[in-house]
C-alpha cells in the first residue's frame, strides 16, 4: 500500500470576472466550492456544552452516563470543569518533571490531491524539545504569521487555517503528539489533580471497563500529552476499538474540533471514500478502504466536503479548563490556534460493548491486530454484574439489569455464538475438547482475540484458531497432529449467567 497521505479533493484555478488575482477552488463530484469564501465555517453548529456543579463533578462516570443519551447524538461534547488546577501544566512539565523533553511530528501545510504523484506523510523530527523551547518556537511562528502571539478570534484563525491548507504553503508545522505522561500535578493540594477527573487514573476508575485490562497501554489506559503550535492538526480518525476518549485542555490557545456522530459514521466513510480518496482508491481497497486509510491518522480535509454530502458535523472550540468527550465510533479532527498543551486517554462504560463488538468484527475482517482483549473484557464485566446481582434483592434486579442492558445483551449474544459453535464442532472426529484455556490468544487467521474458546494443537501450541474459522476443524496442524478445542474451565458458569440474564424481563433478545 502507498504511504498514507493528507487528503483533499482536487484543486483547480478559476479566474474571476474582475481583475483580482486568481483564486484556488476545491472541486468534487458535488460541484465546486470556493475555499477563499470560508463562510461555511460559520455554518457548522456547535456541539453541546455542559457545566457540572462541583457536586455533579465528583463522580465522572455517573455524570457521563447522565449526559450520554443527549450528548452522544452529536459525537462530541464539551464539559467545563468547575474546579481549576492550582499547579499549571508548565510547572508540572518543567519542575515536577525536570528532565521532560519530547519529539515532534512534522506536518506539511497543504492538502493532498490523492494521486500516486502527490504523497504527503507526517514524519517525526529527531530533535527533542523542552516545554519552554517548544513554547518559544510556537510563539515565534504565531508572531511571524499574525504579528501577534494571540488576540485573533478562533473563527478568524479557523478560516486562515483552511485558506492556508488549500493554498498549500511550503512551511511545515510541528506537533508534539503521543507523548507518554501527564501534566496533572502530583501535589496533594492541587484540587483538580486529586479529583477523579485526573486523566492519570481515569481509565482505571471502578466504573471504567478498561480497569480490567491487565497491562498499561499508552493512550488507551494511560494518558498521552499533545503539545501544539499554530495549525498543529489531528487528522480525521475514530478511536481504536470505537472507544470513548476524553481530552483535557491544560493551557494555551484554543483548540478547534470537528465531530461526526456514530449514526453518521458509515455515511462519513462512504463520503471520504468517494469524494476525498476517489475511484482509484475505492476500487483498489473496497468499501472498507476509507476506514483502513483513516486509521493512519494522516487524512485531513475540510468539513465542507461533509456538509455538501449531507453528513452531519459539529464543532467545539475547546478552551483551557475544558474537557472534550468523543463518543464511540464518532469520527473527529481538528487543530490548534496557537501554543497549547492538552492530554487525552480512552475509556469505556457499559454502553460501549455493542460498539466494541462491531469493531472487533471489523478488525477480524480486515485482519487488524486488536489493541485490547475485547472478548475478555466483556466476559469479565458480565460476570462481575452477575455476581453483583446475586446479592441484590429480586425487587431491584430488574432495574439493575436495565442499567447494564448493553453489556448483558452483548454477552448473551457471545455465549449463544459459542454454544452453537461448540455443538457444531463436537461431532467432528478430528477435534477433542479440553476444558482448560491458556489465556486470551490471537487467531492466526483473522487476528481475532479469543478468550472463551479456541482451537489449538496441544503438542506444539502454535497457530491458535478462533471458532469463527470452524472449517479448520477437519484439518490438521502443520506438525501433523489434530487440533484440540480449548474452552474455559468456568464456561459453564458463564453459560449459567447468560441464561439468567435472558430470563430477566428487560432483556429482549433479537
Write the DSSP string, 136-180.
HHHHHHHHHHHSSSS-S-HHHHHHHHHHHHHH--S-EEEEEEEEE
Q: Do both 92 and 182 map to the same domain?
A: yes
Question: For residue 290, what pLDDT band results from cuts at 50, 70 and 90?
Answer: confident
Q: Please count the residues of the chain.
A: 510
The sheet with strand 255-260 has its strands ordered as: 233-237, 331-336, 255-260, 314-318
Question: For residue 133, what pLDDT band results from cuts at 50, 70 and 90?
Answer: very high
* DSSP string over 276-304: II-HHHHHHH-TTHHHHHHTTS-----TH
Q: 224 and 181 in contact (C-beta within 8 Å)?
A: yes
Instruction: Assess whether pLDDT exceeds 50 at residue 29.
Output: no
In a domain, 403, yes or no: yes
- Number of domains making up the chain: 2
Which pLDDT value is given to residue 150? 62
In a domain, 2, yes or no: no
In a domain, 235, yes or no: yes
Tell me the pLDDT tens digit for each residue of 315-344. 999 999 999 999 999 999 999 999 999 999
Which pLDDT value is given to residue 366? 93
To which residue does cell 470513548 refer?
244
* HSE-CB for 9 with a 13 A CA cutoff: 26
Q: Which of 77, 71, 52, 53 is nearest to 351 (CA)?
A: 71
Question: For residue 498, what pLDDT band results from cuts at 50, 70 and 90?
Answer: very high
Q: Do both 278 and 379 map to the same domain?
A: no
Arithmetic mean of pLDDT, 115-142: 84
In a domain, 362, yes or no: no
Instruction: Assess whether pLDDT exceeds 80 at residue 466.
Output: yes
Arithmetic mean of pLDDT, 359-373: 95
DSSP-derived letter for residue 87 is: S
Q: Do both 381 and 264 map to the same domain?
A: no
Which pLDDT value is given to residue 298? 87
Instruction: Among 280, 315, 349, identify where a domain stops.
Output: 349
Instruction: Assess whether pLDDT exceeds 80 at residue 235.
Output: yes
Q: Do both 383 and 341 map to the same domain?
A: no
Question: For residue 68, what pLDDT band results from cuts at 50, 70 and 90?
Answer: very high
- CA–CA gap between residue 155 and residue 121 (Å, rounded): 27
Q: Which residue has the higher pLDDT, 455 or 221?
A: 221
Which pLDDT value is given to residue 16? 34
The vertex-265 CA angle with 261 and 270, nearest 5°, equals 145
Question: For residue 7, what pLDDT band results from cuts at 50, 70 and 90?
Answer: very low
Q: Do both 334 and 392 map to the same domain?
A: no
Q: 83 and 192 in contact (C-beta within 8 Å)?
A: yes
Chain centroid, CA 455 distance in Å: 31
Which pLDDT value is given to residue 473? 57
Residue 464, C-alpha cell as written in the block: 491458535
Strand, helix or coil at 490?
coil
Non-local CB neighbours of 502 within 8 Å, separated by 6+ positions: 412, 509
State which residues form the domain around 182. 11-349
To which residue does cell 475482517 refer?
365
Mean pLDDT of the chain: 86
Q: Which of 178, 174, 181, 182 is nearest to 135 (CA)?
A: 174
Q: Which of 30-44, 61-75, 218-232, 372-386 has the lowest mean pLDDT?
A: 30-44
To which residue does cell 491486530 refer?
369
Q: Which of 21-30, 51-60, 246-255 has the lowest mean pLDDT?
A: 21-30
Arithmetic mean of pLDDT, 307-317: 97
Non-local CB neighbours of 51 within 8 Å, separated by 6+ positions: 80, 82
Question: For residue 28, what pLDDT band results from cuts at 50, 70 and 90?
Answer: very low
Which pLDDT value is given to residue 140? 93
Kindly state the percentage of the chain with pLDDT values over 90. Answer: 64
Instruction: Among 298, 333, 349, identify where a domain stops.
Output: 349
Question: For residue 201, what pLDDT band results from cuts at 50, 70 and 90?
Answer: very high
Q: Do both 166 and 315 map to the same domain?
A: yes
Q: Do both 158 and 236 map to the same domain?
A: yes
Strand, helix or coil at 34?
strand
Non-local CB neighbours of 372 within 8 Å, separated by 6+ positions: 210, 213, 217, 220, 240, 241
Q: Do both 30 and 75 map to the same domain?
A: yes
In a domain, 359, yes or no: no
Q: Do both 341 and 259 map to the same domain?
A: yes
Instruction: Assess whether pLDDT exceeds 80 at residue 279.
Output: no
**How many CB atoms are closer than 10 A to CB 73?**
15
- CA–CA gap between residue 208 and residue 61 (Å, rounded): 8
Arithmetic mean of pLDDT, 19-34: 34
Kindly state the percentage of the chain with pLDDT values over 70. Answer: 84
In a domain, 356, yes or no: no
Q: Do both 256 and 137 map to the same domain?
A: yes
224: phi then psi, degrees, rounded to nearest 5 = -130, 150
pTM: 0.89
Tell me the pLDDT tens digit for each residue of 181-193. 999 999 999 999 9
Arithmetic mean of pLDDT, 113-121: 62
DSSP-derived letter for residue 398 is: H
Q: Do both 197 and 296 map to the same domain?
A: yes
- 3-state DSSP of 194-240: CCCCCCCCHHHCCCCHHHHCCCCCECCCECEEEEECCCCEEEEECCH
To which residue does cell 454484574 refer?
385
Instruction: Among 349, 365, 392, identify where a domain stops.
Output: 349
In a domain, 360, yes or no: no
Q: Do both 475 and 381 map to the same domain?
A: yes
* CATH code assigned at 327: 2.60.120.650
Q: Which residue has the higher pLDDT, 422 or 431?
A: 422
Instruction: Assess whether pLDDT exceeds 90 at residue 458.
Output: no
Strand, helix or coil at 191?
coil
In a domain, 253, yes or no: yes
Amino acid at each position: 500500500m502507498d504511504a498514507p497521505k493528507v487528503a483533499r479533493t482536487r484543486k483547480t484555478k478559476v479566474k474571476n470576472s474582475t481583475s483580482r488575482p486568481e483564486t484556488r477552488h476545491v472541486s468534487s463530484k458535488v460541484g465546486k466550492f470556493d475555499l477563499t469564501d470560508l463562510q461555511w465555517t460559520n455554518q457548522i453548529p456547535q456541539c453541546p456544552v455542559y457545566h457540572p456543579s462541583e457536586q455533579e463533578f465528583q463522580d465522572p462516570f455517573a455524570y457521563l452516563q447522565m449526559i450520554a443519551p443527549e450528548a452522544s447524538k452529536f459525537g462530541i461534547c464539551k464539559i467545563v470543569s468547575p474546579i481549576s488546577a492550582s499547579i499549571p501544566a508548565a510547572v508540572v512539565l518543567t519542575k515536577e518533571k525536570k528532565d521532560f523533553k519530547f519529539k515532534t511530528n512534522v506536518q506539511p501545510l497543504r492538502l493532498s490531491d490523492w494521486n500516486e504523484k502527490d504523497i504527503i506523510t507526517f514524519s517525526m523530527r529527531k530533535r527533542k524539545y523542552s516545554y519552554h523551547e517548544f513554547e518559544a518556537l510556537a510563539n515565534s511562528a504565531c508572531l511571524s504569521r499574525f504579528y501577534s502571539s494571540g488576540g485573533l478570534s478562533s473563527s478568524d484563525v479557523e478560516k486562515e487555517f483552511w485558506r492556508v491548507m488549500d493554498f498549500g504553503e511550503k512551511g511545515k508545522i510541528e506537533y508534539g503528539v503521543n507523548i507518554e505522561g501527564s501534566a496533572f500535578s502530583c501535589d496533594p493540594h492541587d484540587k483538580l489533580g486529586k479529583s477523579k477527573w485526573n486523566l492519570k487514573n481515569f481509565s482505571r476508575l471502578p466504573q471504567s471497563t478498561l480497569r480490567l485490562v491487565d497491562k498499561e497501554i499508552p493512550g488507551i489506559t494511560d494518558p498521552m500529552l499533545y503539545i501544539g503550535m499554530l495549525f498543529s492538526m489531528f487528522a480525521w480518525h475514530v478511536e481504536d476499538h470505537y472507544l470513548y476518549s476524553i481530552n483535557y485542555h491544560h493551557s494555551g490557545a484554543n483548540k478547534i474540533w470537528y465531530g461526526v456522530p456514530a449514526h453518521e459514521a458509515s455515511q462519513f466513510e462512504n463520503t471520504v471514500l468517494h469524494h476525498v480518496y476517489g475511484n482509484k482508491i475505492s476500487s483498489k481497497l473496497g468499501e472498507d478502504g476509507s476506514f483502513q486509510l483513516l486509521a493512519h491518522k494522516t487524512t485531513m480535509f475540510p468539513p465542507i466536503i461533509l456538509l455538501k454530502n449531507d453528513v452531519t458535523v459539529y464543532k467545539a472550540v475547546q478552551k483551557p479548563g475544558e474537557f472534550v468527550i468523543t463518543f464511540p465510533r464518532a469520527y473527529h479532527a481538528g487543530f490548534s490556534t496557537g501554543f497549547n498543551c492538552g492530554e487525552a486517554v480512552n475509556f469505556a462504560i457499559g454502553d460501549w460493548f455493542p460498539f466494541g463488538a462491531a469493531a472487533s468484527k471489523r478488525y477480524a475482517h480486515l485482519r487488524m491486530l486488536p489493541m485490547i482483549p475485547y472478548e475478555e473484557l466483556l466476559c469479565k464485566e458480565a460476570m462481575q454484574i452477575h455476581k453483583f446481582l446475586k446479592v441484590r434483592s429480586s425487587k431491584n434486579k430488574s432495574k439493575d439489569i436495565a442499567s447494564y442492558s448493553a453489556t448483558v445483551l452483548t454477552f448473551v449474544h457471545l455465549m449463544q455464538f459459542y454454544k452453537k459453535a461448540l455443538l457444531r464442532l463436537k461431532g467432528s472426529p478430528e477435534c477433542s475438547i479440553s476444558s482448560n484455556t491458556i489465556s486470551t490468544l490471537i487467531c492466526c487467521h483473522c487476528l481475532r482475540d479469543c478468550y472463551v474458546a479456541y482451537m489449538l494443537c496441544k503438542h506444539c501450541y502454535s497457530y491458535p484458531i478462533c471458532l469463527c474459522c470452524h472449517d479448520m476443524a477437519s484439518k490438521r496442524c502443520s506438525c501433523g497432529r489434530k487440533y484440540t478445542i480449548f474452552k474455559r474451565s468456568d464456561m459453564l458458569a458463564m453459560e449459567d449467567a447468560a441464561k439468567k440474564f435472558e430470563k430477566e424481563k428487560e432483556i429482549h433478545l433479537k
